Amino acid sequence: MLFPYRVLVRCFGDGGFGTHLLPVNDPKVPKTQAWFKREAPVGAFAAVEVWGTSFERMADRARLVATHALRVLRVALVSIRASLTNSSDSA
């Protein structure tokens, strides 16, 4: 079972675990940065609000938050898929 991107954004994009999922064409995603690849298979960016004076340390903190949020989302989707599969098997 596939989960449509727009459903994920509605369910998770409002700041779940401090992370926002932004579509590649969102105005908040920088357009001129070389490290932002917008081509397929990229469908979204995980954005995390951080602050500080060291770009490297801010990036490290944001990476930890985003990685955790995406890991939790992945576990939740697998769990939902398993429960849907089990309920359709028993019907």
Determine which helix (DSSP H) or strand (DSSP E) holds 84, and give its type and residue range: helix 55-90
How many Å separate Cα 82 from the centre of its chain? 21
- Residue 52 domain-assigned (yes or no): yes
Look up residue 16 and give its amino acid: G
Nearest to 48 by CA among 32, 76, 35, 29: 29
Residue 19, SS3?
strand
- Residue 25 domain-assigned (yes or no): yes
Residue 57, pLDDT score: 92
- Residue 91 domain-assigned (yes or no): no
In contact, 80 and 12? CB cutoff 8 Å: no
Which structural domain, as residue segments, surrounds residue 38? 5-86
18-65 pLDDT, tens digit each: 788 888 888 888 777 777 677 777 778 888 888 889 988 988 998 888
Residue 5, pLDDT score: 54
